[in-house]
Amino acid sequence: MAFARDNYNKVYAPNTRETFRRQVLHQFVQGQIADYNPDNPDMATNSPKAHYAISHAALLVAQAYGTKQFKIEVQKFKGAHDSLVETYQKNRKKHLVSVTLPNGKKIKLSPGDHNQLQKQIIESFASRFIQKPVAVYIGDTKEKALFIDKDFLKANNVNVTEHGKLPDVVIFDKKHNWIFLIEAVTSHGPMNPKRVFELKNMFEKCPIGLVYVSTFLNNKEFMKHFSDISWETEAWVADTPDHMIHLNGDRFMGPR
């Protein structure tokens, strides 16, 4: 956008960045004209350091522009396009986060610490602290509604059209008839009083007991957010997976 301003005297408003990404750069990536995070494919989708670069194949075409070799390079690019896209997709898939749900089904999440923590929640937290876990919702950083059981939510009077406001992970405890509302805390905050209030309103017609959990990759992240965590909630740290932190004085984990 700065380049367009300085070289073409065309000024774009700051809020058009997302338009550039959605209507130009995404298509450039699909067409192998640009690569997404080529220097670090494991970078989180929501990282502020996310970036794009011209692909090597497209660069060869651009460098030949204005020469007799240009048409030849264009034909080479077109001829190799399908294989380039296939190769690109394979490279991206190598870095996806594979998660095994409680029922044995596998799903793939986009790369990054946030989704690595969600993997720990599903595979480590749930297996330790939920005796009969059933995955209801898992929000991917790239695709918010990657996994959602709309029938379950609808049957329990939760407005599924508001899934964007759901916590990162929702798990049903079939034995105790509880719903675990879980935030994976990496860039966004934990279950603070405001978030708990929002979720209580969202689930106010739900007949199932609610358990609020903030989860962290390590103790350093937990301590960073500790003062923001609401009372009457739970906390879990992935690198000490056998322990729970109960932020209350009268009882252990369960609906309030």
pLDDT of residue 161: 64
Do the beta carbons of residue 98 and residue 111 sit within 8 Å?
Answer: no
Q: Mean pLDDT over all residues of the chain?
A: 87
Q: Please check whether residue 88 lies inside any domain of the structure.
A: yes
| pLDDT band (50, 70, 90) for residue 84 | low
Residue 118 has what pLDDT?
A: 93
Most confident of 44-58, 109-123, 232-246: 232-246
Please check whether residue 254 lies inside any domain of the structure: no
The answer to whether 166 and 188 are in contact (CB under 8 A) is: no
Q: Per-residue confidence at 169, pLDDT binned at 50, 70, 90?
A: very high
Q: Is residue 220 part of a domain?
A: yes
Give me the percent of the chain exceeding a pLDDT of 90: 53
Domain containing 74 — which CATH number? 1.10.10.1820
Give the C-alpha separation, 101 to 134, whole Å: 8
Kindly state whether residues 133 and 238 are assigned to the same domain: yes
Q: What is the predicted pLDDT for the residue at 234?
A: 95
Task: From 94, 127, 145, give the residue that closes a domain.
Answer: 94
pLDDT at position 222? 95
Distance CA 83, CA 61 (A): 17
Cα 135 to its chain centre, rounded Å, is 16
- Residue 69's contacts (CB-CB under 8 Å, 6 or more residues apart) are none
* Same domain for 217 and 175: yes
Q: Are residues 68 and 192 both part of a single domain?
A: no
188 occurs within a structural domain? yes
**Structural domain total, the chain:** 2
pLDDT confidence bin for 14, thresholds 50/70/90: confident
Inside any domain, residue 253: no
Q: Is residue 27 in a domain?
A: yes
Q: Are residues 123 and 240 in the same domain?
A: yes
Is residue 88 over pLDDT 80? no
Does residue 28 surpass a pLDDT of 80?
yes
Is pLDDT at 212 greater than 90 in this prediction? yes
Q: Which range (73-77, 102-106, 160-164, 168-172) has the least confidence?
A: 160-164
Same domain assignment for residues 11 and 124 = no
Report whether 160 contacts 148 (CB < 8 A).
Answer: yes
Domain containing residue 155: CATH number: 3.40.1350.80
187 pLDDT exceeds 60? Answer: yes
Question: Looking at residues 72-98, what average pLDDT do you find?
Answer: 74
DSSP alpha helix (H) spans, 31-136? 56-63, 70-94, 113-120, 126-129
Residue 143 has pLDDT above 80, yes or no: no
- In one-letter notation, the amino acid at residue 106 is K
Identify whether residues 27 and 141 lie together within a single domain: no
Same domain, 149 and 224: yes
Is residue 105 within 8 A of residue 122, CB to CB? The reply is no
pLDDT grade, residue 79 (50/70/90)? confident
Can you give the residue range of the structural domain that contains 16? 2-94
pLDDT tens digits, residue range 119-136?
999 999 999 999 899 999
